[in-house]
Chain A
Amino acid sequence: MTESRSGSTFERLLRSGRFVITAELSPPDSANPEDVYSLVRKLENYVDVFNVTDGAGANCHMSSFGACMLLSQAGHEVILQMTCRDRNRIALQGDLLGASALGIKNVLCLTGDDVVIGDHPQAKRVFDLDSIQLIRTAKTMRDENVYLSGRKLSSSPGLFLGASVNPFAEPFDFRPINLAKKIQAGAEFFQTQFCFDIDRFRSFMGRISDMGLLEKCFIIPGVGPLRSERSARFLCTRVPGVFIPDTILTRMHTTPLNRQGEEGRRICIELIQQVMEIKGVAGIHMMAYKQEEAVGEIIEKVGLIPRPANRLLN
């Protein structure tokens, strides 16, 4: 892999070979910074980097940019999620410059969930660029010091570029090729959708290892606790790209209602332990929407404390 051009702490952590924990943070439906800080307080002792969503599920929330900035000013390392759903290439490039100027050094480039599944299905979808084109645009700006139009920048943005990969969605055989295309476009780290199907993930990692792609990127699988059987079914049917195997659904189904949360956390711990044994896994990405307090317990139980690692690094 090439050396760092971003000045990002997250990148330094990954390159140092430490097992990194990132956590997804969904910005609040509020204009009060305190609401962002209170979410962070539940997580800050257990994770290294906050990954802030950009209108997740096509629902309107505080912007990823705004929340990232609040966190960054408070001294946290953040990953800015950027989707192609809401902004065209002019806005996206402007945001990349703005992010770097404000000290946000990590960007996760996504296509974005479609507007029809969110709370504003009437909205116009943009998709001027797709995620691969966005990654390449960001890389061009960083490395070649120009906009997509070819116009020169007086100072290039220092960005560590990431992308998503979903090994759990069709077409399965194309997913490794998609990953290769994203690496070629400039992605350096990858975060996955919820990983519940460990066999599928293992074979995906085996395939990309055979293709020689493991040396070219960092893979961070997404994991998270299930709150109940109902929420598991909701994830399966309503959240795009999430697949939960029957074994896990049955486990949740056979557990009495009042202990399902506990069982969900136990499943999550087992998954993390299994994922950590797979070659090429650089960290985990915790997705625990509305159960932020469960993250600490899970991280403690898998023995991944003390955190945050970036303070240990300095």
Chain B
Amino acid sequence: MAIFGRLRDHPTWLETPYQLIEKVFRWLNPLIKKIGYKRVDRWMIFSEKIVKELIFDCKMCGQCTLHFTGMTCPMTCPKNLRNGPCGGVRSNKRCEVDSEMNCVWVEAYKRSTRMKIFGDGIESIRAPLDYRLAGSSAFINLLRCEDDNVCDSFTPAEPEKYL
């Protein structure tokens, strides 16, 4: 339940803290590696889940990409689309599957156009999900994946210059 979901309408307030947290984790990486990714992951899950669920309605896919999708969690799309909307968006901008709900990608695109740091991320391609990472901490996975190249979920394909 995204009780603080309204915050998503101010994506610029959210992207700065997001970037900051990411930087802190990268800075702490040597320490976290020493303690062990798995152990820190267990400590992290609860707090990460609570915060992300209250703001983003997080589904704990473990491969957070929401800063690249307008601070809007693409896993809240009933089809779990991570690269863009499907062709079935209704003319009132509602979802094809659930007519009560706004299309996640309509919101994502609108918000991303206002974002200064990660706004362009919506133009690059997201790799398929690794379902083994579901339920674990995305920040730890980010470090872990960069470290031993287990998954490519975070490395976006280089966006081609077309604009």
* A interface residues (Cβ-Cβ under 8 A, vs B): 89, 111, 113-114, 116-117, 125, 127-133, 136-137, 148, 164-166, 169-171, 173-174, 177-178, 180-181, 183-185, 193, 211-213, 240-241, 243
- Give the nearest-CB partner of A177 in chain B: B123
Nearest-CB distance from B16 to chain A (Å)? 24
The answer to whether B97 and A114 have CB atoms under 8 Å apart is: yes
User: Does B85 lie within 8 Å of A129, measured CB to CB?
Assistant: no
A111 interface neighbour in B79, B122, B126, Cβ under 8 Å: B79
By a CB distance below 8 angstroms, the chain B residues around A173 are 109
Q: Is the CB of A114 within 8 A of B84?
A: no
Q: Is the CB of A166 within 8 A of B87?
A: yes
Closest to A216 in B: B162
Structural contact, A193 and B125, CB atoms closer than 8 A: no
Interface size range on B against A: 35 or more
- List A contacts of B86 (CB < 8 A): 111, 131, 240-241
Q: Which residues of B contact A (CB under 8 A)?
A: 78-91, 93, 96-97, 103, 105-106, 109-110, 122-129, 157, 159-160, 162-163
| Secondary structure call for the B interface | loop
CA distance A113 to B128 in the complex (A): 19
Report whether A133 and B162 are in contact in the complex, using a CB–CB cutoff of 8 Å. no
The 8 nearest A-B residue pairs measured at CB: A240-B88, A166-B87, A132-B83, A241-B87, A174-B109, A178-B84, A240-B96, A169-B89
Residue of B nearest to A240 (CB): B88
Nearest CB on A from B83, distance (A)? 4
- Distance in angstroms from A168 CB to nearest chain B CB is 9
The CA-CA distance from A69 to B24 in the complex, in Å, is 56
CB contact between B128 and one of A129, A166, A170, A178 (< 8 Å): that residue: A129
Give, as a whole number of angstroms, the nearest-CB distance from A210 to chain B. Answer: 10
- Chain B, Cβ-Cβ closest to A173: B109
A165 proximity list for chain B (CB < 8 A)? 87
* CB neighbours of B78 from chain A (8 A): 114, 125
B85 A169 Cβ-Cβ under 8 A: yes
A125-B79 CB under 8 A given contacts A170-B106, A171-B109, A212-B162: yes
- Report chain A residues within 8 Å CB of B93: 170-171
**Contact B88–A133 (Cβ < 8 Å):** no
18 sampled A-B residue pairs with Cβ under 8 A: A114-B96, A125-B78, A127-B80, A127-B81, A130-B82, A132-B83, A133-B128, A137-B128, A169-B85, A171-B103, A171-B105, A171-B109, A174-B105, A181-B84, A181-B124, A185-B157, A240-B86, A240-B87
